[in-house]
A = this chain, B = another copy of it.
Amino acid sequence: MFGLKTDWSLEVLPRYFTLEDYEGGMARWCPGCGDHGVLAAVQRICRDAQLKPESTVSVSGIGCSSRFPHYMKTYGFHGLHGRALPVACGIKSRRPELTIWVATGDGDCCSIGAAHWVHAIRYNMDMVVMLFDNNVYGLTKNQTSPTSRPGSKTNTHPRGSFLPPLNPALTTLSISNVSFVAQTVDWNPVHVYATLKAAYEHKGLSFVRILQRCPQYTPKVFEEAQRDPSLMLLLEHEKGVQADPAGTKIYTNRTQHDPSDINAARQIASREDVIPIGLLFRDADRPRYEEFSSLGADVTIEEKVQALEKELDRFAI
Write the residues of chain A forming the contact surface with B, with a CB cutoff of 8 angstroms.
110-115, 118-119, 122-123, 146, 162-167, 170-171, 173-177, 262-263, 266-267, 270, 286-287, 289, 292
Least CB distance, A223 to chain B, in whole angstroms: 22
Q: How far is the CA of A114 from the CA of B115 in the complex (A)?
A: 5
Q: Could you tell me if B287 and A166 are in contact, using CB atoms closer than 8 angstroms?
A: no
Residue of A115, A167, A173, A287 contacting most chain B CB atoms (<10 Å) = A115
Q: How far is the CB of A251 from chain B (nearest CB, A)?
A: 25
**Which single member of B110, B163, B176 contacts A287 (CB below 8 Å)?**
B163
Pick from B119, B164, B286: contact of A146, CB below 8 A: B119
With beta carbons under 8 angstroms apart, the residue of B163, B171, B176, B266 that contacts A289 is B163
Q: Which residue of B lies closest to A289 (CB)?
A: B163
Q: Are B115 and A112 in contact (CB under 8 A)?
A: yes
In the complex, chain B residues whose CB is within 8 Å of the CB of A170:
174
| Assembled-state Cα–Cα distance A175/B266 (Å) | 12
A163 contact set on B, CB distance < 8 A: 122-123, 176-177, 287, 289
State the Cβ distance, A116 to closest chain B Cβ, in Å: 8
* Assembly CA distance A289 to B262 (angstroms): 31
Which residue of chain B lies nearest to A150 when distances are taken between CB atoms in the complex?
Answer: B287
Which residue from B112, B162, B167, B174 sits with its C-beta under 8 Å from A171?
B174
Chain B residues, CB < 8 A from A171: 118, 171, 174-175
Contacts of A174 in B (CB 8 A): 167, 170-171, 173-174, 266, 270
Asked if B114 contacts A118 (CB within 8 A), the reply is yes
Chain B residues, CB < 8 A from A114: 114-115, 118-119
A163-B289, A173-B174 are known; give 10 further A-B pairs, CB within 8 A: A112-B115, A113-B115, A114-B114, A114-B118, A114-B119, A118-B118, A119-B146, A122-B146, A166-B176, A262-B270
Shortest distance between the CB of A50 and any CB in chain B (Å): 33
CB distance from A150 to the nearest CB of B (A): 8
Closest partner residue, chain B, to A266 (CB atom): B266
Q: Flag if B287 contacts A164 (CB, 8 Å).
A: yes
Nearest to A173 among chain B residues (CB) is B174
Which B residues are in CB contact (< 8 Å) with A164? 122, 176-177, 286-287
CB A156 to nearest CB in B, in angstroms, measures 13
Q: Considering the chains assembled together, what is the distance between the CA atoms of A174 and B262 in angstroms?
A: 13
